[in-house]
Chain A
Amino acid sequence: MSVTRRQLLAAMAGSPLLAAEHAQDPLVIGFIYNGPKNDLGYNQSHAEGKATLRKFPWVKAVEEASVPETVAAGESMRDMIYQDGAKVVFATSFGHFDPFTVDIARENPSVQFFHCGGLYDEKKHPKNIGIYFGFIDEVEYLSGMLAGMSTRTGKLGFVAAKPIPQVLRNINSFTLGARSVNPRVTTKVVFTGDWVLPVREAEASSSLVDQGIDVLTGHTGSPRVIVQTAERRGVFGCGYQFDQSSMAPRGFLTGAQWAWGTVYQRVAQMARDGLSVTNGTIPRRLTGTLKDEFCKLSPYGPSVSQTARERIAAAKAGILNGSLGIYRGPVRDNQGKVQIAAGTTLNVADVELDRMDYLVEGVEGSAR
């Protein structure tokens, strides 16, 4: 009697032996970051998220750091697919999306791509791309509250990269938080013009301190230098992107930081269960807020009092149960124009906020 190969395979298909062997094939997941993975900032926040996959023995995660937003991005993703057998690829920088992720996704329809913050267009882009992003405004609000409680001069400083919506949202929510505890607080903004300009960030920070500012924060690729300068000049510092408490052992208050591990673990598990973004079993858009644990507050520094901690905890509870909306009208911009009408409260996921082009009342600076 002869058994054909097909019959043999069919017979084995149900056997536990084959299933076990199959399970040992790791799920290869690739990550690309556009800067170094030890920047104490945006890139490190993603690398930390990737590192949480270690607890899944069935995942093999590979990564490339300092992948510029050029052909290099496409080539790196392709290498991960062809050389490592990646089935899922995460592209973490905004500029990795178009055309690089789009092209490579079109070329490899059996691989799933997830891009952080990209603008997906159903008509133009292939189906095997998912978008993930977090709304961190609420955490900035809490961080701003602590800044408002800690300042003695009533002046906060914000060193920002570019006047784009994402950055303006953070400046505004930070200021709204600060003014919710102390309505006389103002925030002075300096734009440096680019994401990674440590020297200019340090200069801007220092000059803000010279102008009487006693809490510094920022939104750049990594505000480590801003927090570091705050410490050196003896003022308080709030972090962003990643935990920067190590930069300011005395003056660190808290900060808004990403928790991408939540996304990466969830997608890895879904991919393992055979779900896919192509057929819609993994959602096309995975977005989350403080409540979804896409972001969190950094650990408090030593100078934060118990009362302050309790107030923040209460506000956080309010955000989580929905009783505290951070964008509740009336919100005026710093030109006096009403941007969010009285009686309206915008949810942080509201698309209207993605077009933000103003600075709220209390911010000294220009959004243009």
Chain B
Amino acid sequence: MKLKGPDLFVPLGAVAAAMLVFGVFCAALGVNPLGVYASLWKAGFGSWYSWQNTLVRASPLLLCGLCTALPARAGIIVIGNEGAVVVGGLGAITAGLSTAQMPSLVSLTFMVLAAMLCGGLWIAFSVALQHYRGVSAVISGLLLNYLAIALMNQLIEGPLRDPSSFNSPATFPLPLDHRLGFFSGTHVHHGLLFGVIGCLVAWFLVERTTFGFSMKVAGGNVRTAKLVGLPVGRLVVMAGFLGGACAGIAGMVEVAAVHGRGNESLNAGYGYTGILVAFLARQSPLGVMLFSVLVGGLVAGSGMLQRAHDLPDATITVLEGTLFLFILLSDTVYGRLKIPGGKANAVAA
């Protein structure tokens, strides 16, 4: 795909500006910003060891980023990623436990399918509410997150609970050979593959298929889409389903690669970070790949900020928040300011 100029320099400019402001924040806390940058680099990208850490952290973000990026192409802002991760994980563990007697590959396939179905329907529902009933998907998605978490608590503490999990309610574990393994010689689990494949497939779908094009038309101008006879309703709901299916797989990976069972850690906030990734990527699937790794690296460095610089644990949240503000700001400002090279592309923004 041709990465258009603004797709790269707007978000990278925002990242640079956010890092600058973050540096001021660190200085205000009495910590040398240059040292902080160096630590972030060292802990996130400085060696193969830190790259592994970064990739592990990026793995769920790839899929959660797509959950916002895909429906965005059809013109819907989805922020219900967290809920889709949770229900996807619940679907996966239910499928995994009920196919525990089957061969590993069969069981894993069922887990992926169940996760896609649950996550997909979850977001499709929220998107359909917007398209057919005029309920903003932002609001419904946010509220559905709470429903998903409540549903998870109910299931994990009730019908799905392993009675031997006294003080930390969890489901029964998956059989050991029904879990996703690690790339040999690393501590990066195979869940990363799902994310990479997901981004590539999403890119192909959006950029190289009629469906993707129709989606973009529907997202660009609903009236035009209707005039040319596109089934707008079906398109946007489908886009929501695909996005949700990706987040669902993220939940499945948590279950099958990380925890080996379903527990309340399904609600670990990856969904929310996915929103940040999608906006940094300007809703482009390939951009999601790039920015998942970037954000994954920053999160990987957050521990080092506490240990080496004695910064508070919320520091990384401050950085993420600053990043988000700047990316929103840059999208608004871009095209309105006369910056070299910016004018020609003003319409695209």
Contact = CB atoms under 8 A, between A and B. Distances in A.
Interface of A: 36-37, 62-72, 74-76, 78-80, 82-84, 94-95, 99, 107, 117, 162, 164-166, 193-194, 354-355
Interface in B253-276: 254, 258-260, 263-265, 268-269
A79 B166 contact: no
Contact of A79 (B167, B254, B299, B304): B304
Given A69-B263, A69-B268, 20 more contacts: A63-B306, A66-B313, A67-B303, A68-B268, A70-B265, A71-B56, A71-B258, A72-B299, A75-B300, A78-B187, A79-B53, A80-B307, A95-B168, A95-B264, A107-B187, A164-B167, A164-B169, A165-B167, A193-B153, A194-B264
Given A63-B306, A75-B56, A68 B269 contact: yes
B49 interface: yes
B1 to A, nearest CB: 30
Nearest to A103: B187
Interface string B293-319: 000000110011011000011100000
A36 B314 CA distance: 8
The 5 closest A-B pairs by CB, nearest first: A65-B313, A66-B313, A62-B307, A69-B265, A70-B268
A99 B182 CA distance: 14
Contacts of B53: 75, 78-79
A133 to B, nearest CB: 10
Given A70-B268, A75-B56, A193-B153, A82 B254 contact: no
Contacts, number: 80
Taking chain B's interface residues, is the majority helix, strand, or loop, or is none over half, making it mixed?
A: helix
Given A75-B57, A162-B157, A70 B258 contact: yes
Contacts of A162: 157, 169
A99 B303 contact: no
B45 to A, nearest CB: 14
A84 B309 CA distance: 13
Contacts of A71: 56-57, 258
A355 B56 CA distance: 36
Q: Which of B49, B53, B166, B168 has the most CB of A within 10 A?
A: B168
A212 to B, nearest CB: 30
Given A70-B265, A75-B303, A94 B57 contact: no
B346 to A, nearest CB: 41
A79 B254 CA distance: 21
A63 B167 contact: no
A223 B215 CA distance: 49
A94 B313 contact: no
B114 interface: no
13 contacts: A62-B307, A64-B313, A65-B306, A66-B314, A72-B57, A74-B187, A75-B53, A75-B57, A79-B307, A80-B303, A83-B43, A83-B304, A354-B166
A36 B263 contact: no
A221 to B, nearest CB: 13
